[in-house]
């Protein structure tokens, strides 16, 4: 693999969508709680699907490099505890 190609490969992949995760952790419209008439199985299916989307979005966001990251791995110097 050429150097250019290798460099291209190592460029960060942007998250699929930049939508922030709701801070209160509540479900969005698509993943609302039980509606009258829906059985548990359907509710569970919907909630799990929604959660998986949220978690994947969270994992993608975590892969972005932030300002503090450059310090964390070199400046986290502590004293020996117990």
Partner 1 sequence: MKKRIYGIETEYGVALIAKNNRWNCDSTVLSQYYDFLRSEFFYEFLPNGSRCYIDVAFHPEYCTAECLNLADLVAQDKAGERILLDIFNRVVEGKEGVKRIALFKNNVQYAPEDDQSTPQAFSSTPVSFGCHENFSMDKRLGLEIIKLALTPFLVARQILCGSGWVTNVHYQRRKSRYAISQRTRFMNKYVGNNTRGWTQRPIICTARWDEPHADSSKYQRMHLILGDSNMSELSTYLKMATLGILLEMIEEGYPFAERCAKLMPLSPVDAIKLVSLDLTCRNPVIELDAGKFISAVDMLLEYAGMMDEYEEVQGLNPDLSEALKRFKDVLRRLGKREMDSETLMETDSQGLGEELDWLIKKTILDRTLMAYGSHWNNFYGRKIDFVNGRIGIHEKLMANDLKYHDISPQGLYNQFIATEPNLPISRLNELGIRTPRLVDKEKIENMEKNPPQNTRAKIRGDLIKLLAARGNFKFRIDWEQIVPIAAGYGDSIALDDPFAAQNDMADLLKSRI
Interacting residue ranges for partner 1, rule: CB under 8 A = 9-13, 21, 23-27, 31, 33, 40, 43-44, 47-48, 50-51, 54-60, 62-63, 65-82
In angstroms, how far is the first alpha carbon of the chain from the final one?
48
Q: How far is the CB of 36 from partner 1 (least distance, A)?
A: 16
Which residues, 6+ apart, have CB-to-CB distance to 1 below 8 Å?
A: 9
Q: How far is the CB of 51 from partner 1 (least distance, A)?
A: 6
Angle 73-13-19 from CA coordinates, rounded to 5°: 95
Cβ proximity to partner 1: between 2 and 74 the closer is: 74
């Amino acid at each position: 693999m050429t150097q250019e190609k290798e460099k291209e490969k190592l460029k960060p992949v942007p998250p699929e969508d930049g939508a922030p995760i709701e801070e209160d952790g509540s479900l969005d419209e698509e993943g609302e709680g039980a509606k009258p008439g829906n059985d548990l199985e359907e509710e569970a299916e919907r909630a799990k699907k929604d959660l998986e989307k949220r978690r994947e979005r969270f994992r993608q966001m975590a892969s972005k490099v932030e300002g503090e990251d450059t310090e964390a791995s070199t400046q986290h110097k502590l004293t020996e505890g117990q």
